Structure 1
């Protein structure tokens, strides 16, 4: 049992990620010194709060010291939205730990084997359905960070279907991001913006559905085109060399044997699914 569970990150990748976050924090801090602050007067019209466009006034902003730019990620845990942030952190930790346990027990491999066996001849249909699922999570519920623990499973599924890690990322992260952008009832974008504008909650949803459909079609076309390119020539993958070790790992799986033995693992899979759904509903 020398193999470590879960995704492993290199020291170089960790340093690069930390530097990117640090740079973004510094840029945000500089913008607080550069961008002017101001406010508008608001009046009630027919019971709705409306902004007077001619009432803009420059206000005096708070110049936080530079050291507070760097402590913001910690200070936010004591702010008014601390409960939401802590809930998301705990959710990611718990689901990630659960995935590591399921992987060590062989449950994930069994689930993958059953999916591949069922949709082996209709894998493009499976890609379409999965993309719609993840896009809906972003568009309707505003989920994004919460689906991170599901990314390794989607990458593993992509390997099992003969594709690469980029297709797995496209089915999960990219699809969720596109759905978040083409929001229909996203409470963190549509909900907040309409509340600030004094509009009825989620009004105009019918006009946003065609945009969602158009973005979905573009996403499906992009992913299927790339997946078919890999099917014709696996070496056409942009990360062909990097994926060799993982491809060999999933190529050795006994799909028939795993799928046949997956029935006794059904209860464990059902329990895990209910666990994830309950956590999502509490967010």
Structure 2
């Protein structure tokens, strides 16, 4: 007799996972009391009155709320969804010119193929950009470059995502001179803008080095044995579609001009961002202009340009829709008036602990809360007005209170399925959320422990100036 082979149960699709979260919110609306804080607006900044929390009539959700949330989520995330589609389409046009491939191979040649050196260079570049306010959301646009680099080194797409996305969030964790989240958090805490920079530089270096080493170790492991990739050996470019060394295009003048266009487009957007407050809408427009300029430079006909644009958009449609469904969960939480209740319950349960332990618990709360509300400025507006009086009562410096918030605002961004940036990056790279989760989970644990240690140090040394 032969023993029947048990079929391995497949992991649920990310849409199934997100729908499960939506069902949990529906059930929670019948169990968790609804509540709200009073909010005030000063100088364009919305703040929460920490003493104003009160319960309100429950807002139980029904089946119609569940299914209308899909539409509302897609509408709420429409800007990011459209950005993903346009970025995917335009980068398909750029990719078709072979400019990125030729440029990446040139870079690899200059680095003499050193994986560690290339990983460190890319991680450090994007960490630096994120730490000075060039939002980690812009990592979306650079994912194809990371993928080209990974493919050229015969690595899986996960490495291509990691060197861009994780590098960005390693810098975001420190927020050395971040004019958005750092400025918002410190202003709420009434701290001098960008004060306490030395300790944040320590955070920057620590997170960057640990992240680069983690990615390098994984890259070496799968180089030695491709089957150890979280995506399996099939993730590598082998067979008929693999690019042989002899097929690598020479780095021609037209390739340099295409890459120059890419740089000019980003410089144009960053100038507008810093001087005119440009956001996702203008970034989408910039990419459209980049695509048209590339087509004109490379003499791609209008019909062929549209064909390539639609091909690229089709490839990222799945991930774009994931972003909308993730936003639907936030829609339900807001509709049920549960977010403020959750915040209040956690922040009022910290009494009776020593100041280091209380701040560590507050750090853990921020980790969990950031898994749902991934907007740094949004989280700062909700949480910082609550953390400041808690820190004051514990005789913790406001700088230490701020850094507790900042570290809690960073770590879970690299794993939460509610992050539109993460989902967009995975969509562009065709890496499933389950595959990414398997790869990044050990690093998340390391980041959490690092953050906890840095919070304890900040509290212990009375991290100043206040």
Quick check: 23-32 or 209-218, which moved more? 23-32
Matched with 1:264 is 254
Question: C-alpha deviations, 1:133-163, integer Å up to 9, x for none?
Answer: 2223443326344322432331231121132
Quote the Cα distance in structure 1 between the aligned partners of 2:89 and 2:185. 35
1:16 counterpart (3, 13, 32)? 13
Q: CA deviation at 1:97?
A: 1.7
Question: C-alpha deviations, 1:30-75, integer Å up to 9, x for none?
Answer: 5566155254799xxxxxxx9987x454242672744445545654
Matched with 1:172 is 164
Please report the TM-score for the alignment, with normalisation by the length of structure 2. 0.46
Secondary structure of the 1:180 match is helix
CA RMSD of aligned residues (A): 3.8
Q: CA deviation at 1:171?
A: 0.7
Q: CA deviation at 1:218?
A: 0.9
Question: C-alpha deviations, 1:87-115, integer Å up to 9, x for none?
Answer: 54444333322210012222222222222
Q: Are 1:111 and 1:262, in contact at CA under 8 Å, matched by a contact in 2?
A: no
**In structure 2, do the counterparts of structure 1 residues 118 and 232 end up closer, same or farther at CA, with 3 Å as the change threshold?**
same
Quote the Cα distance in structure 2 between the aligned partners of 1:19 and 1:145. 25
Matched with 2:56 is 60
1:228 counterpart (220, 223, 244)? 220
Residues 188-207 of structure 1: pairs in structure 2 closer than 5 A? 189-207=181-199
**In structure 2, do the counterparts of structure 1 residues 216 and 200 end up closer, same or farther at CA, with 3 Å as the change threshold?**
same
Residues 242-257 of structure 1: pairs in structure 2 closer than 5 A? 242-246=234-238, 249-254=241-246
**In structure 2, do the counterparts of structure 1 residues 69 and 114 end up closer, same or farther at CA, with 3 Å as the change threshold?**
same
Q: Are 1:131 and 1:175, in contact at CA under 8 Å, matched by a contact in 2?
A: yes
Q: Are 1:184 and 1:205, in contact at CA under 8 Å, matched by a contact in 2?
A: yes
Quote the Cα distance in structure 1 between the aligned partners of 2:21 and 2:169. 19
| Structure 1: 5+ residue stretches without partners | 1-11, 43-49
Quote the Cα distance in structure 1 between the aligned partners of 2:208 and 2:58. 42
Residues 1-283 of structure 1: pairs in structure 2 closer than 5 A? 16-28=13-25, 34=32, 36-39=34-37, 55=51, 57-60=53-56, 63=59, 65-66=61-62, 67-68=64-65, 70-72=67-69, 74-75=71-72, 87-141=79-133, 143-186=135-178, 189-246=181-238, 249-254=241-246, 258-259=249-250, 261-279=251-269, 281=273, 282-283=278-279
Question: C-alpha deviations, 1:197-245, integer Å up to 9, x for none?
Answer: 4444444333222112111111122112222233444444343422244
Secondary structure of the 1:63 match is coil
Q: CA deviation at 1:127?
A: 1.1
Quote the Cα distance in structure 1 between the aligned partners of 2:36 and 2:52. 7
Q: Are 1:91 and 1:146, in contact at CA under 8 Å, matched by a contact in 2?
A: no
Matched with 1:46 is none
Please report the TM-score for the alignment, with normalisation by the length of structure 1. 0.71
Quote the Cα distance in structure 2 between the aligned partners of 1:77 and 1:165. 27
Greater relative contact order, per chain length (Cα 8 Å cut-off, separation 6+): 2
Q: CA deviation at 1:130?
A: 0.3
Secondary structure of the 1:242 match is helix
**In structure 2, do the counterparts of structure 1 residues 279 and 88 end up closer, same or farther at CA, with 3 Å as the change threshold?**
farther
**How many residues in Structure 1 have an aligned counterpart in Structure 2?**
258
Q: Are 1:185 and 1:202, in contact at CA under 8 Å, matched by a contact in 2?
A: yes
